[in-house]
Amino acid sequence: MSESDTAPGIAARCRADGGLTEATLGELRTELGYRKLGRWVLAEIADTLRATGLGFFPPHRLDPELNTEPRQWQTVWIYDRDGGPRARMIDAVLQPDGCDVRAELEAIGTNNLAGLTPQQRLERIRDIVNA
């Protein structure tokens, strides 16, 4: 099964929503073909989202050690880990060991263009051109 086939519905929905969407645990459970939402289904959902190039928060909702009684109405935010500004910012907060947290957080909403990295400047230009 290719990465894009592991959770096609939620991946397509996330990308159609501009790279950020909210889903219930019940929706995610159903998409993976499970009938019940057990603790260990949470780990399967988390692994599938990651394999599909998606991230999620809050992380404790899909952690079977922390969410010992998952409920189908509980929600998680799902984002496209496409390397764009949103994904980098969320990853900086959720996974700080893998990035330059200071640079990512200083770039948020800043009008000080000198504080942006060359990559961030190019992304700003792309955002303006594509708007």
- Which range of residues forms the domain containing residue 117? 85-130
26-43 tens-digit pLDDT: 999 999 899 999 888 999
Please count the structural domains in the chain. Answer: 2
Verify that 49 and 96 share a domain, yes or no. no
Verify that 60 and 115 share a domain, yes or no. no
Confidence class of residue 110 from pLDDT cuts 50, 70 and 90? low
Between 21 and 85, the more confident residue is: 21
Verify that 75 and 89 share a domain, yes or no. no
Structure tokens belonging to residue 123: 């992304």
Verify that 100 and 71 share a domain, yes or no. no
Confidence class of residue 65 from pLDDT cuts 50, 70 and 90? very high
Between 110 and 55, the more confident residue is: 55
DSSP string, 37-76: --HHHHHHHHHHHHHTTEEEESGGGG-TTT-SS--TT-EE
Verify that 70 and 101 share a domain, yes or no. no
Domain endpoint, select from 41, 60, 80: 80
For 76, residues 6+ apart whose C-beta sits below 8 A from its C-beta are: 22, 23, 25, 28, 56, 57, 58, 61, 62
Verify that 63 and 92 share a domain, yes or no. no
Verify that 72 and 109 share a domain, yes or no. no
DSSP string, 79-95: EE-SSSHHHHHHHHHH-
Confidence class of residue 77 from pLDDT cuts 50, 70 and 90? very high
Which helix (H) or strand (E) element contains residue 20? strand 20-24
Verify that 103 and 121 share a domain, yes or no. yes
Q: How high does pLDDT run on average in the chain? A: 85
Confidence class of residue 3 from pLDDT cuts 50, 70 and 90? very low
